[in-house]
Structure 1
C-alpha cells in the first residue's frame, strides 16, 4: 500500500502539489476560525437548581427544600454526584453528570424530576429554577459600572435595565449577573396606630394593592363592518397610584393606602455590595454559552459595551477589570513563538547535518505543512486551539522532522550514487520505496504510543486528549507528506546538476568521534550495561521525588483574594472591613485596580454569606513588574495578618473557577468530612485543621464557616393562641409581613419592573424589645403583644449547611506554597 501511494504521487506530481497547497490554504483558514482558549473545554456537565424562600432559616431550607431535591435527583440517570448549599432564604443544588453527557439532556432529566417535587415545597418558595446553561469556567469577562454624583439605586437601575438587557442578547453570552448598588423598590411602610384606628389588617392592604394592579379586556365590539378591541388599563404606573389605592370605606368615606401607610421609593433589602477602587459600583459578570468560543463571546461583548457607552449618561463609566481574552492571546502567542523558534532551530540543524541547501529546504517543508494538516484535522474533530493542543503540535514538530530527513537524505544519496543509471523520477521512486515502509512503521509506533491518551475520560481526558490528538494529527500529516510531497519535490528540484559531491565537515567530525566512543563502548560492554542499569535505578528512585501537579501554575495577570469574617458579622461591618482590605491591596505598586464583591446577588448559583468578600486584583503585565504571584501574595499576607478576625485565601481566577466547578470549594486543596451531626463534624474538622497546621508548606488554612450565626427564635404558644382564637398561620402572616416584608405585586414602568413591598417601619423592628411588643390582631378586635403569644429567645444556628450525596459536609481549605501538591497530600 505504501509503495502504491508513492507511485501514485510521482505519477501525478501536479495533482500532489495541488492537494497539498489546497489543504494548506484550508489549514490557514482553520487556524483563523478555530476557537481559542487557555485550556481545553473543562466545563463539566453540571446543572444547578436555584430555590429561594426569603427569610427561611438555613436548617429549614435544608430540611424542606434542599434535601427533597437531593433525594429525588441522586438516583437520576447519568448522575454521579449531588451537592447542595443551604443558607438563609436560599438553596443551591448542583447535580453533576457523567463526563460526555449532553448538557441539554442533563437539563431535561433535571427538569422532569423537578416537576414531581415543585408542588410539595413550602409556601412562599420561589422556584425551583434551573441555573444558566453555563458553568463557573464560563465566567470570562467582568467589569464595573461606576458613576460620579449618582445614587447607588440609580446606578443599579442603569446596570439592570440598560446594560444587562443589551448584553443578554449578545451572541455567545449565556447569562449576566449584576451585583452591588440598590435594586429599586416601592416600599409601603404601615402605620400600626392608623391600622388600629380604621380596623384594617395587613391582609386587607395586601389584597387591595394586588387587585388594583391589573389590566383587563372587554372583548371585541362589533360596529358595522369593523371590530374594535376593548382594552382596559388598570395597572399601577406611578407612586401616586399606590398612595391612592382604596382599601375600604368607613362611613362612606374611602380609606386610601396613604391614610394608613407611608409610600416611598427606596432600595430593596440587600445581601450584597460591590465597589471598584474604593468607589461604590455595580459588578457585572458575563458567562459565556456552554461550549462556546471564549474569544468570540468577549469580542461581541466589547463591541456592545462600546456602543452602550455612547447611550449612557456622561457621568456613568464602564471599567473592565477581568478579560480572559488577554491571557488567552498572550499564552497562545507565547507558545506559538516557541514553536516557530523550535522549527527554525530544527531547520538550522537540518542544514548543518545535511550540508545541502535544497535537500534541507525540502525536508524542512514538512514542519509547516504537517502543522497545517493537523489544524485541518483539529477543525474537523472540533479540537480547540489551547495551550495543551498547541503544546501537542510542538511535540509533533520534533517527531515529524525525523522522517522527513530520512526520506530526503535517502533520495539524495541514491540520486548521487546512481547518477546516470536512470531518470531522476525512477531513482526517486526507488529511493522512496526503500524507506517508505519503515517510515510508516516508525510513525505508526509513535502514534500508538499516544493513542492511550485519547481513551482518557473525565477531567483527565478533557485536559490531555487535545495534546495527544495534536501530536497524532501532526505525525499523520508528516507521514502523508513524506510519502507524497517529498518524493515529488525531490524529483523536481534535485536534478543532476544539483548533485555535486561536497564534504560535510560536521558529519565527518561527529562520525570520527562516534567511532571512537563506539569502540570504547564495545570494549567495555559489561561496564556500559552496569552503568545503564544504574542510571535506570537512579531515575526510578528520583521519580518518587518529583513534584506532582495537575497542571503547571500560570501567572494569570490577576489575583483573586477571598476574606471571611465571623459568622455574625453584618453586611455593613463587612463593607467597612472590605474597604480597609481594598486600601491594602491598592497600596502595592503592581496593582492596577481592585474590585470587591461582598455577599451573594439575588438569584445567583454561588451562595456566599455577607461575611464573605471577594477581591479581583488586576495586576500590571508580568514584564512590567518584578514580583510574581507567589511573591506578591506573600507580601499581601503579611499586611492582612494585622487585621483582626479576618481569614483569607489567595488564588488566581481560572484556578479558582476550575476548583469550584469540580469540587464546589475554593483553594488548591480541600479536606471533606461527612456525617449527620453538625456538632460532631465541627469537633472533628477542628482536629483535622490542627493536623494540617503542622505540615510544611500550608498557607491560607481555614475551616469553611457554616455555624455560629445568632438567631432570634419565635415559637408560638398554641394554647395561648387558642385562647384568643388566633391560628399559627395568622400569626406567621403578620410576623412575616411586618418584620421581613411582603412583596405583593410588580409595577411595570417603561421597560422596568419594580416590586412593591409592605412592612412595618424600622422603629418597630429595630431591636428585640420592639419585636416582642409587636401587636397581633385577634378576631374579637383585641391587639395582643407578640411576647404574650409566643416564646421569644436567642440561640445560635448554622449559617450555611453543605451537603454532598445526601450527607452533611464540613470543609478545611488551604493553599500550598514552596512545594508540590502531591508530596503535601502524601505527607498529610
Structure 2
C-alpha cells in the first residue's frame, strides 16, 4: 500500500502539490476561526445546589436543609462524589459525576430529585436552586464601579438594574455576580416601646405591612362590541405613603405604620462588601458559559461596557473595566507559544540548510512543518478542541519532529540521486525517487506509530490531569501522523519536481564530509574502549534510575498569570466593617509593592451567594503591570512578605488558574488538603487544631488554616416550655416574632420601572446592636398581655460554628496549606509521617489527605500502568519492524540513557518533577526509539538489500550513512524545543517548558548513545543475516517498487 501511495504521488505530482496548497490555505482559514482559551475544559461534570434558609444557624441548616437534600440526591445515576457546606442561612451541596455522564443529563437528574424534597423543607426556606453552568475557569472578567459623589446604594442600584441586565444579554455570559454596595429596601423599622404604648404586637405590624402594597390582576369587562382590560393600581411608591398604612383602630382613631415604626429607604443587612484600591465600591464578577470562548466573551463584554460608559459618566460613576481580565494571560501565553513556534521553525530551517547546503532539499523538508501543523489544527477544530496553551504546546513540542520524516526521506533521495548520477548507465529518476523513499519508509512508518503508541498513556490519564493533558497529546499525535502523510505524498512529489531536473553536486557538503571523517575517528576510538564505556553507561543509567524517586514533584508548576489572589481570614465573629478596615491597611501595603497595578478587596459573599464564606474572610485581587515571569516570582515573594506583617490573620497567596485547578481536584483553593472525618464536631475541631500545629512546623508550610474554625459568637434563645404555657404562647409564635425582629421578613415588593425593591419589617437598628436588648423584646399574647422575651426564654451568649462540612454525607473538618520553597509531594510525605506519629485519633475518626500531591500520585500511577500496557504494543511493533529479538533489545538499550539526560537536566535546572515533566519523559522515549529504529533498520537494509556481510565494515558504513539523518533529526527536534526550554518561566510556557527541558536533556544523551555506542553494541551483540526468499516474494517486492521512465 505504501508503495502504491508513493508511486501515485510521483506520477500525479501536480495533483498532490495542488491539494497540499489547498490544505495549507484551508488550515490558515481554520486557524483564524478556532476558539482561543488558556486551558481546555478541565472540570468534571458537576452540579451545585444552593438553598437559602434565612435566620437558621449552621447547625439548623445542616439538620433541616442540607441532610434532606443530600438524602434526596444520593443515588443519582452516575453520581461520583457529593460534598456540602452548611452555613448560617445557607446550604450548598456540590455533586460530581463520572466522566462519561452527559453534563446536561446530570443536571436534569438533580432537578428531578430536588423537586421531591423542596416541599418538605422548613417554612421560610427558599426553593433549592441549581447554579448556572459555567466554564472550568468560570470567571471571564471582574469589573467595578466607584464614585465620589454617589452613595453606595446608588452604585448598587446601577450595578443591579443597569449593568447586570445588559451584561447577562452578552453571548457567552452565564451569570453576573454583584459584590458590595448597599441593597435598597423599603424598611419598616419597628420601635418596641411604641408597640407597648399602642398595645400592639409584632404580628399586627407584619399583617398590616403585608397588606400595604401589591399588584393584582383584575380581569376584564366585555360587552357585545369590545373587551376592556382592567388595570388596577394600589401599590405605594414612597416611604411616606407606606407610613400612612393603617395597622388598626383604637377608639375610632387609626394607628399607622408610621406611628409604631420608622419607615424609610435603607440598606439591607450586608453579607459582603467590596473596595477598589481602598475606595468603597461595587464589583461585578462575570462568569462565562460552559464551552464558551474566553477571548470572544471578553471582547463582547468590553464592547457592551463601552456602550455603557456614557451612561455611567453622566451619573459621575467611574468604571474599572479590568480589575481582573483572564484574557490577558491567554493573550500572553498564546503569544509566547506562537513566538516559540516561529522561532523554533526558523532554527529548524536554518539547520536544514546548514547541513544540506541545498535550498531545494531544505525547502522540501521545511514544507512538512506548516502543512503538518495546519493539518492538526484542522482536525482539532472539527473535534471541537480549542486552541489553548495545551494544544499549542503539543504542536510546539512536535515542531522539530514533524520534519524528521521528511528529512530522512529527502536525505536518502538526495543521496541516491547523487549516486545514480555518477553511474555509467543511470536509472530513471522516478524509479530512484521511488526506491529511495521506500527504502526508509517501512522503518519510518513503524517509528511514527511507535511514537503515537508511546503517547497512549497520556490519553488514558484520569481526572483533571487527563482533561488537561489529553488535548496536548491529541495535538502532538495529529501533527506527527500528518507529518507521516506529508512524507509519503508531498515529499516524493516535490523531490521529483525539484531534484531530478538539474544536475546535482556529486560531492557531499564540506560540513558533512568533515563531520563524517571526525565521526569515523571517534567511532573507532569508542570501539577500542567499548568495554569501559559500556560499563560507565551502565553505571550512569543505574544512577539515573535510583535518583528518580528523590526528584521532588508537583502537579503543575507555578503559573505566571500577572494576577494574584490573596486570601485573608480574621478571627471568627469579626464584623464586616472590621474586615474592611483591616482590608484598607492590607490594600495600602500591597499597593506599595513595585509592579502592582491595582488591588481590589471582596469581604464576605455576594447577596445572591456564589462563594459561601463569612464576613471575616476577604479575598484581594492583586493585578500586576506587564512584567516577565521572573519578576512575577519576585512580586509573589514581596506579597507574602507584606502579608506576614499582619499578625493574627490567616493568609495565603495563589494565582487564579492554580486555585481553580486545586479547587477542581479537592474542592479547596490550596494544594495540600487534610480532611478529618468523624461525627463529633468538637473532636474534629480539636484534631484539626493539632494537625494545624504540626503542619506549621513542617518546612515549607505557608497559609495553614482550618476551613471551618469554631468560635463564632452566638446568642442562644432557648424557650422555657413552662413559661410559654403560663403566659399562653405557642413556641412558633415566639420564634416568628424573634425572626421578624432580628432577621427581618420581606412582606411585599415595590415596583419602580424595571426595578424591584423588597418591603421588610424588622426592629430599628438601635435595637439590634446589644445582646442585652434582646431580652426586652415585647411579646403580646392573645389576652393582650405584653411579656418581655426574657420571661419566656433563657438568653445567653455562646460560641458556635459558622460552617459545617460534609463529604459523602459524613461530617468532616478540613485543614489546608500552601507550600513554598519545596516540592508539594515531599511536603505531604513529611506531613503524613508527622501526623501519623503525633496525632492520636479516637474510634470513628480518621484522616484522609487530598489535593495536588494525591492527584499527582494518581496520575503517576496511571502513567505507569498504562505505559506498561503501551510497552507491550511497542515491543510487538518493534519486533515486526526489526525482525529479530537482538535488534529489538539493541533499540530498547537506548531508553535508559535517554532517562539519564532527562534526570540530569531536572537536577541541574533545579526543577521539580511536574506532570508535564513526566509526559516529557514519555515523549523522549518515543523520539529515542524512533532514532534507534532508523539505525538498526538501516543495518538490516545493508545486509538484506545490498548484500553486505555483517561486520565492522557494515557497522561503520551504516553508522556513517545514518549520521546526517540522525544528527539532523536530533538537532531540529532540539532546536524546535529550545525556545520553550529557554523561556520556560514565561506565561504560557510553564507546563510545556519543563517538558522541553526533559526532552532536550534526554535527546542529547540518547543521540550520543545512538551514534557512538549503539554501533558498537550492534557490532558485538547484533546478528544481521541476509533473509532467504524461497517464494520469490523479494523479487516481486522489487518489481513493485519500479517505475519505468521519468514519469
Q: Is the 8 A contact 1:27 1:372 kept in 2?
A: yes
Distance 1:678 1:218 in 2: 55
What is the match of residue 617 of structure 1? 622
> Which residue of 1 is the match for residue 294 of structure 2?
294
Tell whether 2:579 aligns with 1:578: no
Are the counterparts in 1 of residues 200 and 780 from structure 2 also a CA contact under 8 Å?
A: no
Check whether the contact 2:79–2:98 (CA below 8 A) recurs between aligned residues. yes
How much is the aligned-residue C-alpha RMSD, in angstroms? Answer: 1.8
CA shift for structure 1 position 100: 4.2
Structure-1 residue corresponding to 2:688: 685
Q: Show CA shifts across 1:468-494 (max 9, x none).
A: 111110011111111111111112111
Distance 2:452 2:329 in 1: 32
- Structure 1 residue aligned with 2:785: 782
Larger strand fraction of residues: 1
2:535 to 530, 533, 555: 530
Distance 1:627 1:432, change over 3 A: closer
Q: What does residue 519 of structure 2 align with?
A: 514
Contact 1:136 1:660 in 2 (8 A): no
Q: Is the 8 Å Cα contact of residues 3 and 436 (structure 1) preserved in structure 2?
A: no
Cα 1:741–1:339, aligned 2, differ >3 Å: closer, same or farther?
same
SS in 1 for 2:386: coil
SS of equivalent to 1:28: helix
User: What is the deviation of 1:139?
Assistant: 1.1
Separation of aligned partners in 1, 2:556 and 2:696: 25
2: distance between equivalents of 1:646 and 1:664? 22
For residue 1007 of structure 2, what is the aligned residue in structure 1?
A: none
Separation in 2, partners of 1:765, 1:665: 35
SS of match in other structure, 2:101: coil
Q: CA deviation at 1:11?
A: 2.7
**Aligned partners of 1:264, 1:193: CA distance in 2, in Å?**
19
Give the conservation status (yes or no) of the 8 Å contact 1:763–1:770: no
TM-score by length of 1: 0.97
- 1:599 and 2:601 equivalent? no
Would you say the 8 A contact 1:61–1:89 is kept in 2? yes
| CA-to-aligned-CA distance 1:393-444 (integer Å, 9 cap, x gap) | 1221222221101111222223222237354334323332333333222211
| Whole-Å separation in 2 of the counterparts to 1:643 and 1:730 | 47
Q: Aligned ranges for residues 162-561 of structure 1 at < 5 Å?
A: 162-314=162-314, 315-319=316-320, 320-419=322-421, 421-561=426-566
Q: Is residue 696–residue 704 contact of structure 2 (8 Å, CA) maintained in 1?
A: yes
- Asked if 2 retains the 8 angstrom alpha-carbon contact of 1:704 and 1:813, the reply is yes
Q: In structure 1, what is the equivalent of residue 740 of structure 2?
A: 737
Secondary structure of 1:709's aligned partner: strand
Equivalent of residue 640 in structure 1, options 627, 634, 643: 643
Would the aligned equivalents of 1:706 and 1:801 in 2 still touch at CA under 8 Å? no
Deviation, 1:758, is: 0.7
Select 1:807's aligned residue among 799, 805, 810: 810
After TM superposition, give the deviation of residue 372 of structure 1 in Å: 0.4
The structure carrying a bigger helix percent of its residues is 2
Say if 1:269 and 1:345 are closer, same or farther in 2 by CA, change over 3 A. same
Conserved? CA contact 2:312–2:319, under 8 Å: no
- Name 2:990's counterpart in structure 1: none
Q: Deviations over 1:331-379 (max 9, x none)?
A: 1111111121112111111112222111111111101111000101111
1:201-238 deviation digits (Å, cap 9, x = unpaired): 33333333333433334433233422212222223333
Between the aligned partners of 1:135 and 1:670, the Cα distance in structure 2 is: 24
- Alpha-carbon distance, 1:197 to partner: 4.7
Aligned 8 A contact 2:38 2:389 in 1: yes
User: In the alignment, what sits opposite 1:660?
Assistant: 663
2:14 and 2:253 map into 1 onto residues whose CA distance is 100
Query: Structure 1 CA distance, aligned partners of 2:503 and 2:584?
Result: 76
Whole-angstrom distance in 2 between the partners of 1:826 and 1:195: 65
Per the TM alignment, residue 545 of structure 1 is displaced from its structure 2 partner at its CA by 2.5
Shift of 1:511: 0.9
> In the TM superposition, what whole-angstrom CA distance separates every residue of 1:309-329 from its partner, at most 9, and x where no partner exists?
122243112111111111111
- Deviations along 1:774-815, one digit per CA (max 9) or x if unpaired, are 111011111011111111111111111111111122222222
Shift, 1:599, TM fit: 0.4
1:143-162 matched pairs, under 5 angstroms: 143-162=143-162
Q: Which moved more, 1:323-332 or 1:403-412?
A: 403-412
Higher alpha-carbon deviation: 310-319 or 536-545: 310-319
Shift of 1:602: 1.6
Alignment of 1:691-730 (within 5 A): 691-730=694-733
* 1:589 aligned onto 2:594: yes
C-alpha separation in 1, matches of 2:145 and 2:647: 31
**Structure-1 separation of matches of 2:699 and 2:416:** 64
- How many corresponding residue pairs? 826
Between the aligned partners of 1:31 and 1:551, the Cα distance in structure 2 is 28
Aligned partners of 1:724 and 1:779 also within 8 Å: no
| Correspondence for 1:628 among 629, 632, 647 | 632
